Structure 1
């Protein structure tokens, strides 16, 4: 694809991730949002229209139902794919795997999200770890929120020559905030029944060399995930050396409890104050003043916004698949600039 030509991006599924991807695509000067497809007739597609996005129905039947509900619908998914260079599938878990045949028949590049299996695309994506291997591919899978955070932080240590092995415990929020009235858990904790939990093996889909094991438990809150990690380093290191390794990644924000960021809700409040759409926390928010190094052992904790962390990765994945930028660092920097990534550490970060 010519550098001068904007990549036309379709978003299939306008839910928690889809609406964020659509808004991020619309911010890129080298991309054009061709439209969004969905099945809903509630408030969500009406917001899409309010934002000026072209709306399509997932099928002919859905298109008709949406029109009958008063929505201005351009056409169906097939029509949207016909005017797009690439589609980002943000439909619910396991639905995207069914859509893959449609995309392949149309000969259109596609991205699925972390709810799908690695085998759906044969490639898993985190920009700082697997951008180059995604160049000009037919498809990739942007891994889940937790897996993205794991790969980002461990890759930072790996690039600094410090990573030997990592063991993490994940406190996973029960459900998305907007649907917490429909389910979730109350007054209990629910341990995931298998060790390792799926995030560790999933991180190895991105980088098979990672020696990582995870354990996870669901907790009765919906703000974000919280991770605790114990890492064996390749050698004894200083706290400053480890912080330098994390700081080398623009997508790891080093925050401090003594700046008032002592809990998940305070970080989310800061995102709102920064004017981030949907209070999005795109970065891994890692507490620098909690981090501890004992010889060759490292201990740290961080926060993961499961609604937002994969958005910059998805934008970079578009560039990698279409080959519009061959250099990962250039794409990451461009995406960061459009999403305002970097402000968090400046305001309440490392000193």
Structure 2
């Protein structure tokens, strides 16, 4: 790869995250999608051929089964690894940790996601915080959807000199929408058994200085997550001062219930009306007119699209590992432009 060549990207796993990463990579001028790896034999992989994306099998055994189901297979994972610069692993939880050894053995840079532990790569990634420390590394882990939102919002307050400590309650969707017929919960709420829930410590894997505690409960819906936060500020502040801090992040978009965006389904409908691929909400959608400041106490709520929020950070992680961008600001600006990310929906 020369300085002017696009980075060759492989995606392992074409599920909820994988297909969105593929769409995002195809939108980047400095990247080329070399192929997608999977093991499925059903409808999920049918769109690849129409998009002209090469499909690879995880193994020769899977290749035989997939060909038997009518798919054109370009080769196996091993063959694809010889053609790429970086692998984005979007396989189910714990599978990526096993795949990491394959990538290392082949000398390929790789990215895993929040379903894996920090120790799999030794580095956790949110573009606005840890881009510089990811530069040139062999691997990184893009943290989960909820953790990404926590780091984005608390970092905005921290950079404004306003953050002392934060306590959050997360209402978590029961399952991904496309799998809602297979599981999930009905007519109940399921609290995460530990306080803090895992998202707070996970945010500290990106920024150890964050004083954050989270609690989480699984709720019977599949559209998105909803967060409520209570933050102790470093001093008394005005509402406008806090909003300015959030506005300083290009990946926090302010919304207003007064404009009719009063629930998570309305925000998802807006993403469809805007023509976003897969109705993606890449931003943290934070309710401006709900936010309240009382002296040195701040209260706010926001929505997290669990299927989409990590996509821009994954693109930035590719640039960090491969040297495509020198700074987080450069990469974030490119990604925001190609994905149409904006700072307000009101």
- The bucket for the TM-score relative to the shorter chain is over 0.9
Corresponding position of 2:66: 66
Q: How does 1:66-215 map to 2 (within 5 A)?
A: 66-215=66-215
Q: Segments of 4+ in structure 1 off by > 2 A?
A: none
Corresponding position of 1:17: 17
Is 1:174–1:219's contact at 8 Å kept on the other side of the alignment?
Answer: yes
TM-score for both structures, normalised by structure 2: 0.99
Corresponding position of 2:234: 234
Give a deviation string over 1:233-265, Cα, whole Å, max 9, x none.
111111001000000111000000011100000
**Separation in 1 of the partners of 2:266 and 2:2?**
44
Corresponding position of 1:329: 329
User: Which ranges in structure 2 are unaligned for 5 or more consecutive residues?
Assistant: none
**Separation in 1 of the partners of 2:264 and 2:41?**
33
Corresponding position of 1:34: 34
Corresponding position of 1:216: 216
Does structure 1 residue 266 correspond to structure 2 residue 266?
yes
Q: How many residues align?
A: 346
Give a deviation string over 1:274-333, Cα, whole Å, max 9, x none.
000110000000000000000110000000000000000000000000111111011001
**Separation in 2 of the partners of 1:188 and 1:136?**
46
Query: SS of the counterpart of 1:309?
Result: coil
Give a deviation string over 1:48-90, Cα, whole Å, max 9, x none.
1211111000111111111111111100001111110000000
User: Which ranges in structure 1 are unaligned for 5 or more consecutive residues?
Assistant: none
Corresponding position of 1:316: 316
**Separation in 2 of the partners of 1:81 and 1:19?**
19
TM-score for both structures, normalised by structure 1: 0.98
Query: SS of the counterpart of 1:313?
Result: helix
**Separation in 1 of the partners of 2:298 and 2:3?**
43
Corresponding position of 2:52: 52
Query: SS of the counterpart of 1:56?
Result: strand
1:5 offset after TM fit, Å?
A: 1.2
Is 1:22–1:33's contact at 8 Å kept on the other side of the alignment?
Answer: yes
Query: SS of the counterpart of 1:110?
Result: strand
**Separation in 2 of the partners of 1:234 and 1:170?**
23
Structure 1 vs Structure 2 CA RMSD: 0.8
Is 1:2–1:324's contact at 8 Å kept on the other side of the alignment?
Answer: no
Query: SS of the counterpart of 1:171?
Result: strand
1:3 offset after TM fit, Å?
A: 3.1
Corresponding position of 1:306: 306
1:2 offset after TM fit, Å?
A: 3.6
Query: SS of the counterpart of 1:270?
Result: helix
**Separation in 1 of the partners of 2:127 and 2:149?**
11
Query: SS of the counterpart of 2:231?
Result: strand
**Separation in 2 of the partners of 1:231 and 1:12?**
39
Corresponding position of 2:285: 285
Query: SS of the counterpart of 2:136?
Result: coil
